[in-house]
A and B are shown apart, each in its own frame.
Chain A
Amino acid sequence: HRRLPAVIPTPPVSASPFPNPKSQYCCLSRNFSAALTPLLPVQLPSRMETHLWYVVPDEVKSAPLLSKYMELLPQSERDHVLGFRGDQLQKSALLARTLVRTTIARYQVDGHLDPRSLRFKRNIHGKPEVEWETKDGFCPPPLQFNISHTSSLVACGVTMNSLIGIDVEEKRRRTKNNILAFAKRYFTAHEVEHLNAIPDSELQQQEFIKLWTLKEAYVKALGKGFSSSPFNTFTIRVNTAAQESFCASSGIAVETLDSPQNLTNNWQFALLELMGSHYVAICLERQETGGAGKAFPIKLTARKTIPSVEDELVSGTNAVVTIGGSVTQF
């Protein structure tokens, strides 16, 4: 990601929440007697739905608010946030942890709503999961989530039951290396061909970013770590009449090299353009198919949020444009 020149304005009374990356996080709560506004509950996604939540770091300018977010985190996560170099990186790391905690808490899975009490663990491959308290025969719901962030966008996808991977990237992200050289080294031959066929360098750059986010989303959905699915072992195929670039009707599928003739039907993809500035790739485990192996479209609800402050339903607006995959926005 590229760091945008965002500045946290110095508030009149209190110090920046990030006084010094190395300093012990100091107790700023003495300045802010009010706790965060209680979170509003939200309904769990149905089995066929995907919820997308996102925060725009540049819109979260209040240092007191950021301090309160910090208070939601256990010490280990605070240390992790403070380990990033610089305010910008720390802020997006903080917002990522805050978004995932507050969002999951709002679903009130275990009856209460406290983002502080959530525990997270990693599966054997390192994929983060919620560690639900097992008490009194409480059966944890199959809530699945995945987070992705850049300095300019923090996003969290949530489903009930479907494995999910998401990846976000700025549209204008440029690689330092030549795209085709990079693709030849890390992508598959088909993908190199796909990129090579695009004459305009600007469009080619964008196609590269789209492919990258889709590939990342797939590996994150698999949840087995990047080394189990190196990028050159699977191809992202785009099915369009034009075959040149993504368009709204394009089907996206993944084909693994070890079974080239069988498109892997287990996974479905969505590619979105968010706020005209970012690509968001979503990969979901297919739950049910329609007739003849066709998948139902992804039912997507997208909300822009500032945790504990406001939500805005943005699906179906200009803010969220489907540019690939079969998606219905609600």
Chain B
Amino acid sequence: MAAASASSFTSLKSRPAPGLATIAAVKSGAPLSFSFRRPVPAVSRLRISCAAKPETVEKVAKIVKKQLALPAETPVTGDSKFAALGADSLDTVEIVMGLEEEFHISVEEDSAQSIATVQDAADLIEELVQKK
């Protein structure tokens, strides 16, 4: 369990200090490792979440490519930013609508606004799907 949580850190936007792994380990119920002696650094914005499944990222990428009329072979990964791919605000709202339909979820406007990358969308989807 701890190992799985540790590997999910690769999806975090910032490289975590060892202290952060401690927090995740505690949350996941895994045994604490007392070799982490450094104090937990203060971070102003922290999202500890498991990275979305690759299949979810794939589905999001597909919907994005369709909305933006990108050729199928266009490389779109988790890191891809909607804006950089050419999505304007109308595209973004249409993409969110497409995601709502595909995954049977409802995305609040302010959550939709925080989506900048494909990974953001995939993570949000999984969070909403889990809440159902």
Chain A residues in contact with chain B, CB under 8 A?
Answer: 1-3, 83-86, 89, 150-151, 169, 173, 175-177, 182, 185-186, 212, 216, 225-227, 230-232
Contact = CB atoms under 8 A, between A and B. Distances in A.
B97 A89 contact: no
Interface of B: 66-67, 69, 81, 83-86, 88-91, 93-94, 97-98, 109-110, 113
A186 B93 contact: yes
A314 to B, nearest CB: 24
A151 B88 CA distance: 10
A153 to B, nearest CB: 12
B89 A216 contact: yes
B113 A227 contact: yes
A15 to B, nearest CB: 22
A176 B84 contact: no
A227 B97 CA distance: 16
B70 to A, nearest CB: 9
B86 A226 contact: no
B94 A226 contact: no
A230 B97 CA distance: 15
B113 A176 contact: no
Contacts of A185: 97
6 closest cross-chain pairs (CB), A and B: A227-B110, A230-B109, A227-B113, A89-B86, A83-B84, A84-B84
A290 B94 CA distance: 41
Given A225-B113, A230-B109, A175 B90 contact: yes
A186 B88 CA distance: 16
B98 A177 contact: yes
7 contacts: A1-B86, A2-B69, A83-B81, A151-B86, A175-B90, A182-B97, A186-B93
Contact of B94 (A169, A175, A231): A175
Contacts of A216: 89
Nearest to A151: B86
B109 A227 contact: yes
Contacts of A151: 86
